Amino acid sequence: MQNEEISILVLYTGGTIGMMQDRATGALVPFDFGNIYKHLPVLKNFGFRIDFYSFDPLIDSSNMHPDFWVRLAQKIEEAYDSYDGFVVLHGSDTMAYTASAMSFMLENLSKPVVFTGSQLPLGMVRTDGRENFLAAIEIAAAKEDNAVVVPEVSIFFQNQLLRGNRTTKFNAENFDAFASGNFPSLAEIGVHIKYNKEKILKPNGKNLKVHTRLDRNVGILKLFPGISETFVRNILNMQDLKGLVLETFGSGNATTAPWFIDALEVAVKRGLIVLNITQCKSGAVEMGRYETSLDMARIGVVSGHDMTTESAVAKLMYLIGEGLPHDSIVDLLQTSIRGEMTI
């Protein structure tokens, strides 16, 4: 079925999916997307117009950086009116961070931005990249009654379509590498793609607004039994630090040791925004449920509810980068602005 009116832009950032084995040396080298129809002739069967844009240089996603996020967001903005949907090919290692960042940077999104990648390169016989890539294109192009089906930033990996800012990479080996512990899949993929429509964000009818001011003065502090006072105080005293994701235990608990609460209180009074996120892959922070989080609530540590760490870091970079007043940042951190938390 020809469907020439649908157009998809594939943005290739790097990562395993874009690799193939060099016949002569056996080494993995970047795939030439100029030859994509030769390697994946089935792409023609969609009947869509599919254009490719490769970033230069291509990067392993472990080298991902907010400056790259800005380039990606700007590229989507530039091409926004010319395409029905976008597929971003990205290394899986930091895909959840980039997808989270895009969800905040692309405000009022009304078109699909589907991230995908693979555990094995596209150019390998057993690759998972082929299915991931083809399904991501189908999802990015999906329309029903002329309306876009998934107008949000999502991740497609191994038969699952997940909200980007709800996702974490949890497996370094299996094809099934991503989990969304606090939000259901946006679609189940089998013989048919069954969209979970009531869970998918609806466009708000406003024009796309791209935010590119990200503040990198944020950090993550993961608690563990025996964490030392010196270590905690050194982190909290870092001069330029403006936002800190505090990865706590269970439903947002931490040691009640007086030095810990004191160190946090001093930092919060100085203006540091401390966002409480659980180390668990599922479930939410509930400050005050146990005595071990009461003091944190009292001194102004902010509850991150059920946000992922990836989303929390990206949201802090975005909100602080916007230069909003401290109280507005604290309010917005506790509000779901892109479907990133359940309140």
Which one, 53 or 175, has the nearer CB to ligand ASP?
175
Binding of residue 93 to ligand ASP (CB under 6 A):
yes
Which one, 53 or 290, has the nearer CB to ligand ASP?
53
CB atoms under 10 Å from CB of 59, counted, come to: 17
Question: Which span sits near ligand ASP by CB under 6 A: 91-99, 180-188, 194-202, 322-330?
Answer: 91-99
Binding of residue 303 to ligand ASP (CB under 6 A):
no
Of 120, 114, 152, nearest to 136 by C-alpha is: 114
Q: Which of 92, 98, 116, 158 binds ligand ASP (CB under 6 A)?
A: 92
Closest-by-Cβ residue to ligand ASP is 91
Which one, 6 or 101, has the nearer CB to ligand ASP?
101
Catalytic site includes residue 16: yes
Strands 7-12 and 49-54, how do they pair?
parallel
Task: Calculate the dihedral angle through the C-alpha atoms of 289, 293, 298, 301, rounding to the nearest 10 degrees.
Answer: -120
Which one, 91 or 243, has the nearer CB to ligand ASP?
91
Strands 113-116 and 106-107, how do they pair?
unpaired
| Binding to ligand ASP, residues 55-74 (CB under 6 A) | 60-62
Which one, 91 or 321, has the nearer CB to ligand ASP?
91
Task: Tell me which of 13, 16, 127, 308 is the catalytic residue.
Answer: 16
| CA–CA separation, 100 and 178 (whole Å) | 14
Q: Which of 6, 8, 9, 15 binds ligand ASP (CB under 6 A)?
A: 15
Q: Which amino acid is at 268?
A: V
Question: Which span sits near ligand ASP by CB under 6 A: 10-18, 141-149, 222-230, 247-255?
Answer: 10-18
Strands 85-89 and 113-116, how do they pair?
parallel
Of 277, 283, 284, nearest to 254 by C-alpha is: 277
Q: Which of 117, 123, 252, 304 binds ligand ASP (CB under 6 A)?
A: 117
Sign of the torsion angle spanned by Cα atoms 333, 326, 286, 310: positive
Quote the tokens at residue 174: 């299996």
Which one, 136 or 263, has the nearer CB to ligand ASP?
136
N-terminal to C-terminal alpha carbon distance within the chain: 43
Binding of residue 121 to ligand ASP (CB under 6 A):
no
Binding of residue 91 to ligand ASP (CB under 6 A):
yes
| String marking each residue 153-172 x if it binds ligand ASP according to CB under 6 A | --------------------
- Smallest separation (angstroms) from ligand ASP to the CB of 305: 28
Q: Site size for ligand ASP, by CB under 6 A? A: 10
| CA–CA separation, 340 and 337 (whole Å) | 7
Q: Which of 10, 16, 48, 132 binds ligand ASP (CB under 6 A)?
A: 16
Of 330, 331, 262, nearest to 296 by C-alpha is: 262
- Smallest separation (angstroms) from ligand ASP to the CB of 92: 3
Which one, 118 or 311, has the nearer CB to ligand ASP?
118
Q: Which amino acid is at 108?
A: N
Of 82, 18, 81, 83, nearest to 54 by C-alpha is: 18
Helices (H), the chain: 36-39, 66-79, 95-105, 129-141, 229-236, 258-270, 291-299, 309-321, 326-333
- Smallest separation (angstroms) from ligand ASP to the CB of 62: 5
Q: Which residues bind ligand ASP (CB under 6 A)?
A: 14-16, 60-62, 91-93, 117
Active site residues: 16
